[in-house]
Amino acid sequence: MSARDERLKEGIRGLAATFLNQESNGSSLITVTKVELSPDGKRATVFITVLPEEKEPEALSFARRQRTELRGKVIKVLDVSHPPFLEVDIDRGEKNRQRIDELSQK
């Protein structure tokens, strides 16, 4: 992956984190854990975790509804002429890691 792609991923991650926290109603904590970019650079997936976990479906639905507005911010702030289309998903890997940590401490 090129340095440009890495900068784009980090830029999207930071913007998404700030944007989702500003726009959410505060009933849950939404954390952006990582961004993955497709090999052709046309799609990016923003991975999130949500606390409390029972608010996950609502938070995911909210984040998915905000994709268009977030993409507009990516265009404006990162000055990207052809920004990737954004998807949002739950970071299952992070959830599994937390569960392993929890079990190993017992």
pTM of the model: 0.88
Domains of the chain: 3-104 (3.30.300.20)
Mapped onto helix, strand or coil, the DSSP state of residue 25 is coil
Task: Report phi then psi at 13, rounded to 5.
Answer: -60, -50
53 DSSP 8-state letter:
G
- Spatial strand order in the sheet of 29-37: 29-37, 43-51, 85-90
Q: What pLDDT, on the 0 to 100 scale, is given for residue 91?
A: 93
pLDDT tens digit at each of 106 positions of the chain: 789 899 999 999 999 999 999 999 989 999 999 999 999 999 999 999 999 999 999 999 999 999 999 999 999 999 888 899 999 999 988 777 777 888 888 7
Q: Which residues contact 38 (CB under 8 A, 6 or more apart)?
A: 44, 84
Cβ contact 15:74 at 8 Å: yes
From residue 37, give the alpha-carbon distance in Å to each of 12, 15, 44, 56, 58.
Answer: 10, 15, 4, 23, 25
